[in-house]
Amino acid sequence: MAKKILVYVEMAGSEIAPVSLEVLTKARQLGDVEAVVLDPEAAAAAAAIGSYGATTLYAGIDEDYRKFVAQPAAAALASLAAEQDPDLILFGATYDARDICARLSARAGLTVLANATDVQAQDDSFVAISSIFGATQNVTTELSGPSPCILLRPKSLPAESVGGSPAKVVSVSLPAGAPRGASRLESVVAPASGPKLEEARVVVSGGRGLQDSSNFELLEELATLLHGAVGASRAVVDAGWVPYARQVGQTGKTVKPDVYVACGISGAMQHTVGMKGAKHIIAINKDREAPIFKLCDLGVVGDVLKVLPALIAELKSRGVSG
């Protein structure tokens, strides 16, 4: 009998979050896919979810899924999981999904594995693949027990539609008495120009070698010329130079641009796990022994504070204007 896979699909506004499409695509290879969306606009996702191969959409449209963080969604998922008894529950690893998955795990007593890059079906269980020690080793973990939960890292797997018909919508209600918890009072969108870090064709990232937060302006300028986005290493995020949202690496984002320019980044494993999937890597660092030079396609041993201004001037002299 085919296995039943439940996919938690997240909405980004009125669209399905890109990582959820990756997860739906993976789920098709593992068994019969049903999706759950907990969002006031859930029903609007039926066509897209169907085209990615899910037969059923469990839709919860309570406003409180948006207003409160994780707790109502976890309560609804726990009751759905108890009723449907899926063989596996898959999530794309987003800020919200991680909290929801964690709470679901505790509420329903389900094991949870985070940071998976792939999932495979065995005869009577599932295994998750994840990478450890800065992606130098891959571990295969077998999951057991009722409805194991797996969080898949964004950009680990492709998203491919199969053109199925719209999923059948089944409404789910928020369990009576479910606690609401922390409420969202306001959403602030930081002013941003240029492409998003995760979607940019070019990413220009900076690390400790930039010496001072004000030197990040050089990266902004180069990124603008290259129509790219600016990223950062954990060290400079921890130092408070740039917000966490810019962090590339194990505890930050995974990026797979065509070109990744690492400026003053030594290439600690914590960082490289988030960028080694780039098609081409350029590194500028003054330490010839920095590990980043072992994985770049073109490396420049030099002071990033001299090389960057020279590169910006050179690009401008070639008529590049961003």
Question: Considering only residues 8-67, where is the footprint of other proteins by CB under 8 A?
Answer: none
Establish if 4 lies at the interface with other proteins (CB under 8 A). no
Amino acid present at 269: M
Beta carbons within 8 Å of 280's beta carbon, 6+ residues apart = 258, 259, 260, 297, 298
Residues in region 204-263 near other proteins by CB under 8 A: 225-228, 234, 237-241, 243-245, 247, 250-251, 258-259
Tokens read off for 164: 């199925």
Single residue of 89, 101, 157, 230 touching other proteins by CB under 8 A: 101
Contact predicate 158/97, CB 8 Å: no
Establish if 162 lies at the interface with other proteins (CB under 8 A). no
Binding mask 166-195 for other proteins (x = CB under 8 A): -------------x-xxxxxxxxxx-x---
Binding mask 262-281 for other proteins (x = CB under 8 A): ------x-x-----x---xx
Establish if 98 lies at the interface with other proteins (CB under 8 A). yes
Task: From 29-37, 50-58, 161-169, 310-318, give the range in contact with other proteins by CB under 8 A.
Answer: 310-318
Task: From 23-31, 42-50, 82-90, 130-138, give the range in contact with other proteins by CB under 8 A.
Answer: 130-138
- What DSSP string describes 88-145? EEEEE--HHHHHHHHHHHHHHT--EEEEEEEEEE-SSSEEEEEEETTTTEEEEEEE-S
Stretch (H or E) spanning 312: helix 304-317
- Using the minimum distance from each CB to other proteins, give the nearer residue, 53 or 291: 291
Single residue of 201, 211, 212, 217 touching other proteins by CB under 8 A: 201
Please state the closest distance from residue 297 (CB atom) to other proteins, in A. 4
Range 127-131, long-range pairs (CB < 8 A, 24+ positions): 131/273
Beta carbons within 8 Å of 88's beta carbon, 6+ residues apart = 3, 4, 5, 6, 30, 31, 119, 126, 143, 147, 148, 150
Please state the closest distance from residue 46 (CB atom) to other proteins, in A. 25
CA distance 232 to 86: 39
CA distance 225 to 222: 5
How do 202-206 and 11-12 pair as beta strands? Answer: unpaired
Task: From 3-11, 26-34, 155-163, 305-313, give the range in contact with other proteins by CB under 8 A.
Answer: 305-313
Q: What is the DSSP letter of 82?
A: H
Tokens read off for 2: 């085919």
Angle at which helices 71-84 and 95-108 cross, to 10°:
50
- Using the minimum distance from each CB to other proteins, give the nearer residue, 7 or 308: 308
Establish if 295 lies at the interface with other proteins (CB under 8 A). yes
- Using the minimum distance from each CB to other proteins, give the nearer residue, 158 or 179: 179
Single residue of 132, 171, 173, 287 touching other proteins by CB under 8 A: 132
Establish if 121 lies at the interface with other proteins (CB under 8 A). no
Single residue of 99, 164, 166, 256 touching other proteins by CB under 8 A: 99
What is the CA 99 to chain-centroid distance, rounded?
14
Size of the site for other proteins (CB under 8 A): 101
Single residue of 56, 105, 156, 254 touching other proteins by CB under 8 A: 105
How do 88-92 and 4-8 pair as beta strands? Answer: parallel
Amino acid present at 182: A
Please state the closest distance from residue 156 (CB atom) to other proteins, in A. 13
Establish if 298 lies at the interface with other proteins (CB under 8 A). yes
